Amino acid sequence: MSRPRAADDFETIRARLDELQRERAAGERADAAAEDSAASRDNAAERRRRARIAGLPPPWAPTLFFRDA
């Protein structure tokens, strides 16, 4: 009796490889999104730090505008 070998089931192997590729691509997209989010937080923090150094008021502080007489 000859039994089929698992290595000869090319359709199943191809389907599994495609599934693994999709999983890896989804993971890479999630990693990239997390990095982008962290980078934007870092950029916002850096902007706030530079504004403080320049002596600008915090964004929540009321700003008064006076008209020249």
Domain ranges in the chain? Answer: 8-54
As a whole number, the mean pLDDT across the chain is 78
Q: What pLDDT was estimated at residue 19?
A: 92
Residue 30 pLDDT > 70, yes or no?
yes
Residue 28 pLDDT > 70, yes or no?
yes
How many Cβ atoms from other residues are within 10 Å of residue 42's Cβ?
10
Provide the sign of the torsion angle of the four alpha carbons 64, 67, 68, 69, taken in this order.
negative
What pLDDT, in 10s, does the model give residues 31-57?
777 777 767 777 888 888 888 888 877
Q: What pLDDT was estimated at residue 1?
A: 52
Q: What pLDDT was estimated at residue 18?
A: 92
Q: How far apart are CA 29 and CA 23, in angstroms?
A: 10
